[in-house]
Amino acid sequence: MEPFSFQVEARAGRARVGRLFTPHGAVETPLFMPVGTAGSVKGLMPKDLEAIGSQVLLANTYHLLLRPGPERVRALGGLHGFAGWKGPWLTDSGGFQVMSLGHMRRIDEEGVVFQSHLDGRLIKLTPERSIAVQEALGADLIMAFDECPPYPSPREYLEASLERTLRWLERSLKAKTRPDQALFGIAQGGTDPELRRRSTLETIRFDLPGYAIGGLAVGEPKEAMFAMVELSTRLLPEDRPRYLMGVGHPEDLVAAMGLGVDLFDCVYPTRTGRFGSALVPEGRLNLKNARFLEDRRPLEEGCDCYTCQTFSRAYLAHLVRAGEMLGGILLSLHNLRHLHRLTEAARQAIREGRYGDFAREFAGRRFGREVPPWFREALAAGGHW
């Protein structure tokens, strides 16, 4: 039997519920994947992630390459043996962090040379090296080595970059040896429709088990981002999972799920939690605000997470003010649960053929009467509005 497969189980407009089978279990899509940068979701124990319904964790190849090093992780049983999360893992290719965190020194046909942000040593990352590292880390889902150009980039640069990313995809595939890992290709092309189309069509020619929509949520306007998501999900094959990288704002999830995106990841829920903010249907609560100091309500009425079941906003506001680390932990837990509940509710709405109602109810709470055009247009394009 194939170690990987993907089945679409229900559809509503362009939205779909799917089931993705991996060697470490089957997961339901659409789903949000918490980010465990260096092999831990900051401040949260795997058992707590399991309890809130996390299904897949993401780890960053860049961080684990620098520390503790891929051979060490391999020797300790790969991510599954090392980090206490026995369900599926996804690793990125390292390319994005090289651009955003490392001091990139040189990019050429062969790959990228960068300076470690930890100790300054020069490190080369190529498609072959990225795959070797990802094979050592042992995630179920791995990503082709790509370049994610900054926004904005000149058209000529985007074009040269996406062509190189396609050649890197070919090299990534050649370098791959493990049959128990599924390699996803990443389409680029910035916000240029023609380049995005070309990159997507060329990428799907490789007939891969899954595809990522890359290079978005890097500063472009929402209209441009969702025009690209709409285009991408029209071109990507129906029977493969689609992963919108780096996206984690609730409104973006609702719009993208409506267009048929299946997978998401982002540091947003945990980072904003550590900074003292809570995701709620109306948007975001900044717990540093003095008005919460005597607020006896839970963060979110009706939320089933441990934070909401146990603590008041007043207590959480106190923890945030006092710099108590438990504040960021409890907010991170709630924020992840908030996104998981959002995808769970979306799945149910898709199964019941009422994703449009779901999206409109979401928009009513989130935006009131001022639903932004990009949101409505994405939902309309998905057949829900």
Annotated catalytic sites, by residue?
92, 265
Q: In the stretch 84-113, what mask flags binding to a copy of itself with x, by CB under 8 A?
A: x-----------------------------
Which one of 72-80, 169-177, 202-210, 233-241 is the stretch in contact with a copy of itself (CB under 8 A)? 72-80
Instruction: Give the separation between CA 126 and CA 145, rounded to whole angstroms.
Output: 7
Sign (positive/negative) of CA torsion 199, 200, 206, 209?
positive
Which one of 9-17, 203-211, 321-329, 340-348 is the stretch in contact with a copy of itself (CB under 8 A)? 321-329
In the complex, least distance from residue 84 CB atom to a copy of itself, rounded to whole angstroms: 5
* HEC letters along 101-157: CCEEEEECCCCEEEECCCCCCEEEECHHHHHHHHHHHCCCEEECCCCCCCCCCCHHH
Closer residue to a copy of itself in complex, CB, 19/318? 318
Closer residue to a copy of itself in complex, CB, 66/263? 66
Cβ atoms of 239 and 259 closer than 8 Å:
no
Which residues have C-beta within 8 Å of that of residue 214, sequence separation ≥ 6?
Answer: 146, 148, 186, 187, 188, 245
In the complex, least distance from residue 276 CB atom to a copy of itself, rounded to whole angstroms: 15
Which residues have C-beta within 8 Å of that of residue 343, sequence separation ≥ 6?
Answer: 30, 31, 32, 253, 257, 264
Closer residue to a copy of itself in complex, CB, 84/221? 84
104, β-bridge pairs: 114
Closer residue to a copy of itself in complex, CB, 54/343? 54
Residue at token pair 């984690």? 248
78 lines the binding site for a copy of itself (CB under 8 A): no
383 lines the binding site for a copy of itself (CB under 8 A): no
In the complex, least distance from residue 30 CB atom to a copy of itself, rounded to whole angstroms: 27
7 lines the binding site for a copy of itself (CB under 8 A): no
20, β-bridge pairs: 6, 27
Closer residue to a copy of itself in complex, CB, 72/174? 72
132 lines the binding site for a copy of itself (CB under 8 A): no
In the complex, least distance from residue 318 CB atom to a copy of itself, rounded to whole angstroms: 5
In the complex, least distance from residue 293 CB atom to a copy of itself, rounded to whole angstroms: 6
305 is in an annotated binding site: yes
Question: Site residues for a copy of itself, window 32-71 (CB under 8 A)?
Answer: 38-47, 63, 67-68
383 is in an annotated binding site: no
Which one of 76-84, 100-108, 255-263, 357-365 is the stretch in contact with a copy of itself (CB under 8 A)? 76-84
- Write out the two tokens for 190: 């910035």
Instruction: Give the separation between CA 161 and CA 296, rounded to whole angstroms.
Output: 53
303 is in an annotated binding site: yes
In the complex, least distance from residue 234 CB atom to a copy of itself, rounded to whole angstroms: 40
Question: Site residues for a copy of itself, window 324-353 (CB under 8 A)?
Answer: 324-327, 329-330
Q: In the stretch 289-318, what mask flags binding to a copy of itself with x, by CB under 8 A?
A: ----xx-x---------x---xxx-xx--x
72 lines the binding site for a copy of itself (CB under 8 A): yes
- Write out the two tokens for 377: 């247009």
In the complex, least distance from residue 275 CB atom to a copy of itself, rounded to whole angstroms: 14
271 lines the binding site for a copy of itself (CB under 8 A): no
b or e along 188-203 (b: 16 or more beta carbons within 10 Å of the residue's beta carbon)? bbbbbeebbbbbbebb
308 is in an annotated binding site: yes
| Nearest of 329, 261, 229 to residue 16 by alpha carbon | 261
Binding-site residue numbers for substrate are: 92-96, 146, 188, 215
Annotated binding site for Zn(2+): 303, 305, 308, 334
Residue numbers of the site for a copy of itself (CB under 8 A)?
A: 38-47, 63, 67-68, 72, 75-76, 82-84, 293-294, 296, 306, 310-312, 314-315, 318-319, 321-322, 324-327, 329-330
